[in-house]
């Protein structure tokens, strides 16, 4: 399972509150990703990281920020959660020379009321 954990696994929060999701890996892989999955949209890339303190935006980055201060942790922050950010969030890592073979974490189900 590539040693990926996500926390929390479930969270319910209220509109306007800040939320931080954590992705942790145990194998020092360089590339890490955050996706969201919604019915009818499939998986969409939010942000990704290609090293410590090196991050970039994905397809749906508005309303999200990320940080990577250590190789093993990639944090996703919703500065002020909105109901449209209710979703399932998946973290992924890429192994080897190809970043197209990605391994996903178990997901975090976030509900914003």
Partner 1 sequence: DAKTTQPPSMDCAEGRAANLPCNHSTISGNEYVYWYRQIHSQGPQYIIHGLKNNETNEMASLIITEDRKSSTLILPHATLRDTAVYYCIVRENSGGGADGLTFGKGTHLIIQP
Question: Taking the complex as a whole, how short is the minimal distance between the CB of residue 21 and partner 1, in angstroms?
Answer: 14
User: Is residue 106 near partner 1 by the rule CB under 8 A?
Assistant: yes
φ/ψ of residue 69, rounded to 5:
-95, -15
Q: In angstroms, how far is CA 112 from the centroid of its own chain?
A: 16
- Residue closer to partner 1 by CB (options 8, 18) is 8
Q: Is residue 25 close enough to count as binding partner 1 by CB under 8 A?
A: no
103 contacts partner 1 (rule: CB under 8 A): yes
Choose one: 11-19, 38-46, 63-71, 73-81; the region binding partner 1 (CB under 8 A): 38-46
Candidates 31, 52, 71, 73: give the one binding partner 1 (CB under 8 A). Answer: 31
Q: Is 9 exposed, middle or buried (0-12, 13-18, 19+ CB in 10 A)?
A: exposed
Q: Say whether residue 33 binds partner 1 (CB under 8 A).
A: yes
Q: Report the residue from 58, 72, 73, 111 that binds partner 1 according to the rule CB under 8 A.
A: 58
**What are the backbone dihedrals phi and psi of residue 50, each rounded to the nearest 5 degrees, phi first?**
-115, 20
């Amino acid at each position: 399972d590539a040693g990926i954990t996500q926390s929390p696994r479930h969270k319910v929060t209220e509109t306007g509150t800040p939320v931080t999701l954590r992705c942790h890996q145990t194998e020092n892989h360089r590339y890490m990703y955050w996706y969201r999955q919604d019915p009818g949209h499939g998986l969409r890339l939010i942000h990704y990281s290609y090293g410590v303190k090196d991050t970039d935006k994905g397809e749906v980055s508005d309303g999200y920020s990320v940080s990577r201060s250590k190789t093993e942790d990639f944090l996703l922050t919703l500065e002020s959660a909105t109901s449209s950010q209710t979703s399932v969030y998946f973290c992924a890592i890429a192994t080897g020379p190809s970043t197209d073979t990605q391994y996903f974490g178990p997901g975090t189900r976030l509900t914003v009321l």
